[in-house]
């Protein structure tokens, strides 16, 4: 969502918004959380204090758009719905934009002035002008909400990335399950270039959990008989995954597993995987029928074929993209269709 659209959203939802609150929104749009995130321990301590003063019971998880890829995650409902404070802290720390500067704030200020002149905001052009001129003289510092806004809405939120926010229902489910059982095993399946690795990386960052990659379990070339490759999912070594990974993963204990190298067609290293209350497996074939029963939460990352083709070309170049198109994508699609992978998933996302 663009900043102008975010402003219009806030003007309608929060009619007590003052120029100060609009500038705060602009500041968050420009700087993300980078201006107020000294370290994880400090951020976590502040969050715990604020959560203690925030009503939580029965509230749903809600967000408001900020623009430039951010949203405000309201604290009410986070704990009740399974979002651990440590997870919220780490989501907040991830909300740091690429280069931001005072010039960006000045452009947003000009937009605020134009919108106030057009009566699109719940305050006058003169009010906006007075506040903005004072703000510029101070050098564009960070901003608190106005007293009127605080009295009307009691704001309590953390800024997080919009691309993380779309997965909040999944994070809530993970947290809810982790509160009543350990370990929790999550599988992320779906077509190539659908965002599986990106989601898994985010989960690994906010939960500090191991992430396993199905690319590490392809069968070597000399085992790819015609008979085997005619079986949906036959190009993955589900037997090795079941032997090396499933016992430790399902018990929550440490284990070791081999990492397959597609270039040398050999196991290039042995990876030590620590004990954890959460394990994430990402990649096509993660929900192979020989493995699927081990997972408590199943996720399918989908992608439009045109977008998929563009992403693969940008990521891998023309030669490898041609192999995806002619060889690997047909194998993936046959597997998805044969085992109805998408239909058996708890969550389906398309990014």
What predicted TM-score, i.e. pTM, was given to this entire model?
A: 0.92
CA angle, residues 94, 204, 280, in degrees to nearest 5:
145
Confidence at 57, pLDDT banded by 50, 70, 90:
low
Which residue, among 100, 96, 85, 78, has the nearest Cα to 37 in the 3D structure?
A: 96
pLDDT at residue 37 is higher than 60: no
pLDDT at residue 340 is higher than 60: yes
pLDDT at residue 100 is higher than 60: no
Q: Where are the domains of the chain?
A: 3-162, 168-350
**What confidence score (pLDDT) does residue 59 get?**
84
Q: pLDDT of 131-162, one tens digit each? A: 999 999 998 888 999 999 999 999 999 999 99
CA 252/CA 277 separation, integer angstroms: 6
Those residues whose C-beta lies under 8 Å from the C-beta of residue 103, and which sit 6 or more positions away, are none
Q: pLDDT of 306-335, one tens digit each? A: 999 999 999 999 999 999 999 899 999 999
**What confidence score (pLDDT) does residue 164 get?**
97
Domain 168-350 fold: Rossmann fold (3.40.50)
**How many Cα neighbours within 13 Å face the side chain of 230?**
3
**SS3 of 108, please?**
helix
CA 82/CA 206 separation, integer angstroms: 14
Residues linked to residue 236 through DSSP beta bridges, in sequence order: 218
Query: Using an 8 Å Cβ cutoff, are 122 and 52 in contact?
Result: no
Query: Using an 8 Å Cβ cutoff, are 209 and 200 in contact?
Result: no
**What confidence score (pLDDT) does residue 98 get?**
61
Query: Using an 8 Å Cβ cutoff, are 159 and 71 in contact?
Result: yes
Q: pLDDT of 241-266, one tens digit each? A: 999 999 999 999 999 999 999 889 99
pLDDT at residue 101 is higher than 70: no
Give the residue-averaged pLDDT of 271-279.
98
């Amino acid at each position: 969502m663009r900043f102008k659209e975010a402003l219009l959203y806030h003007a309608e939802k929060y009619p007590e918004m003052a120029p100060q609150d609009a500038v705060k929104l602009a500041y968050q749009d420009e700087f993300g959380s980078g201006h107020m995130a000294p370290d994880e321990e400090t951020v976590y301590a502040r969050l715990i204090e604020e959560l203690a003063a925030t009503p939580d019971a029965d509230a749903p998880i809600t967000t408001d758009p900020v623009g430039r890829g951010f949203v405000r995650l309201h604290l009410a409902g986070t704990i009740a719905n399974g979002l651990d404070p440590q997870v919220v802290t780490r989501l907040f720390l991830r909300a740091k934009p690429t280069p931001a500067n005072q010039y960006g704030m000045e452009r947003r200020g000009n937009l605020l002035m134009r919108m106030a002149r057009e009566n699109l905001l719940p305050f006058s052009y003169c009010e906006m002008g007075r506040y903005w001129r004072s703000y510029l003289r101070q050098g564009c510092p960070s901003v608190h909400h106005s007293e009127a806004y605080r009295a009307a809405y009691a704001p309590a939120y953390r800024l997080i990335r919009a691309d993380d926010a779309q997965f909040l229902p999944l994070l809530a489910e993970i947290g809810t399950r982790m509160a009543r059982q350990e370990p929790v095993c999550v599988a992320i399946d779906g077509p190539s270039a659908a965002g599986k690795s990106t989601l898994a990386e985010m989960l690994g960052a906010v939960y500090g959990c191991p992430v396993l990659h199905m690319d590490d379990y392809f069968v070597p070339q000399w085992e790819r008989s015609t008979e085997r490759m005619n079986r949906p999912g036959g190009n993955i070594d589900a037997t090795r995954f079941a032997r090396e990974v499933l016992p430790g993963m399902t018990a929550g204990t440490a284990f070791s597993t081999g990492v397959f190298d597609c270039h040398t067609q050999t196991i290039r290293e042995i990876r030590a995987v620590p004990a954890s209350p959460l394990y994430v497996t990402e990649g096509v074939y993660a929900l192979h029928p020989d493995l699927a029963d081990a997972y408590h939460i199943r996720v399918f990352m989908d992608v439009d074929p045109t977008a998929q083709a563009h992403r693969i070309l940008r990521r891998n170049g023309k030669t490898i993209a041609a192999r995806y198109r002619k060889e690997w994508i047909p194998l993936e699609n046959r597997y998805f269709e044969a085992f109805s992978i998408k239909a058996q998933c708890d969550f389906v996302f398309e990014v």
